[in-house]
């Protein structure tokens, strides 16, 4: 379905028309994930990883009030250089930015929406949002989870960000009928570390198995996405103890400063990076590359069905 607000790059459109594999990528990681020029350089590395896997990358963003599926290197650099000046965009923000001809960096939720409009069924990201710690009082639950419940896109990720309440995040996904598939793992990964002690719904050892699940789910008319949980490579994983100490300190500082809403996750990630002396940032880059490689394999397998 092509929407009149949407611009699809020629390369991505050609691939879609020919039935070839395409992988969607978010842009919040560019504008809000790390400093310039490392953010733009990492985005291009992720795109190259997808190309090496036989698929076409479609980095997604909003530029000048237009939904973009497939950015040029110049547009990626533009988002990277502007950084946090670019609005972080979830579902609720899309109409405002389109009406105002503004720029936006897409989260998991808004990337899923635009990928679905473009006809791209596979999306690679770092980690999904989820239920925040203390949500029983704050009701702070990421829009990513509701999008997974309603939008037909498979999301390859290193689990949910470990700043979240992972148990409640999985409970929410279960309630809304979102399958959580573990790639070569029985446990749900915790972003910076490979395990959380929490089980996935089903283990899948090959991308072709996951592609068949996607086809069966949507073939039945069961609306909504899938979470493909892909653990960070062991060589780059951080110990649970060290990362949990950093997370606890970052959360305490955020509470003391009254930081919440869409500003909370960028603050926590930046604070954790400082507390871990940059190790968390390197882990973030490596898991993004790892997810891109699996997403490319999955997109190729799904296109072949």
Which of 273, 279, 285 has the alpha carbon at shortest distance from 232? 285
The question of whether 26 is a catalytic residue gets the answer yes
d(CA 162, CA 216): 30
Question: Do residues 1 and 119 lie in contact, with contact meaning Cβ atoms separated by under 8 Å?
Answer: yes
Q: Is the peptide bond before 37 cis (omega within 30 degrees of 0)?
A: yes
Give the C-alpha distances (Å, rounded to integers) separating 229 from 225, 263, 270, 297.
13, 25, 23, 14
- Closest among 80, 105, 131 to 25, alpha carbons compared: 105
- Active site includes 161? yes
Q: Of 26, 75, 147, 273, which is the active-site residue? A: 26
How many whole angstroms separate alpha carbon 245 and alpha carbon 272?
Answer: 9
Please report where in the chains the tokens 């965009």 appear, as a residue.
89
Is the distance from CB of 89 to CB of 107 less than 8 angstroms? Answer: yes
Residue of 68, 161, 217, 271 with catalytic role = 161
The one-character DSSP state at 106 is E
CB-based contacts of 249-258 (< 8 A; 24+ apart in sequence): 249/275, 250/163, 250/275, 251/133, 251/163
For helices 264-275 and 240-257, angle between their N-to-C axes, nearest 10 degrees: 130
CA–CA distance, 165 with 273 (Å, rounded to integer): 19
Helix/strand/coil for 9: coil
**Residues catalogued as catalytic:** 26, 161
């Amino acid at each position: 379905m092509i929407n009149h607000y949407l611009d699809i790059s020629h390369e991505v459109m050609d691939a879609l028309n020919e039935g070839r594999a395409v992988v969607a990528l978010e842009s919040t990681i560019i504008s809000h994930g790390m400093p310039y020029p490392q953010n733009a350089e990492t985005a291009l590395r992720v795109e190259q990883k997808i190309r090496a896997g036989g698929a076409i990358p479609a980095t997604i963003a909003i530029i000048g009030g237009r939904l973009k599926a497939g950015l040029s290197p110049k547009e990626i650099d533009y988002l990277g250089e502007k950084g946090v000046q670019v609005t972080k965009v979830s579902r609720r923000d899309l109409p405002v930015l389109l009406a105002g001809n503004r720029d936006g960096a897409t989260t998991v939720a808004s990337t899923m929406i635009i990928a679905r409009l473009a006809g791209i069924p596979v999306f690679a990201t770092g980690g999904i949002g989820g239920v925040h710690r203390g949500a029983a009082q704050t009701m702070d639950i990421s829009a990513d989870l509701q999008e997974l419940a309603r939008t037909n896109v498979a999301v390859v990720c290193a689990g949910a960000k470990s700043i979240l309440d992972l148990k409640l995040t999985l409970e929410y996904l279960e309630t809304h009928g979102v399958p959580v598939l573990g790639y070569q793992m029985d446990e749900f990964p915790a972003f910076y570390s490979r395990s959380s002690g929490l089980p996935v719904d089903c283990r899948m050892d090959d991308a072709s198995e996951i592609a068949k699940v996607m086809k069966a789910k949507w073939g039945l008319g069961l609306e909504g996405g899938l979470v493909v949980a892909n653990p960070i490579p062991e060589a780059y994983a951080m110990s649970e103890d060290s990362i949990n100490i950093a997370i606890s300190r970052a959360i305490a500082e955020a509470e003391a400063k009254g930081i919440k809403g869409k500003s909370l996750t960028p603050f926590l990630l930046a604070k954790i990076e400082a507390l871990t002396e940059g190790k968390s940032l390197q882990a973030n880059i490596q898991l993004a590359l790892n997810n891109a490689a699996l997403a490319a394999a999955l997109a190729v397998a799904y296109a072949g069905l």
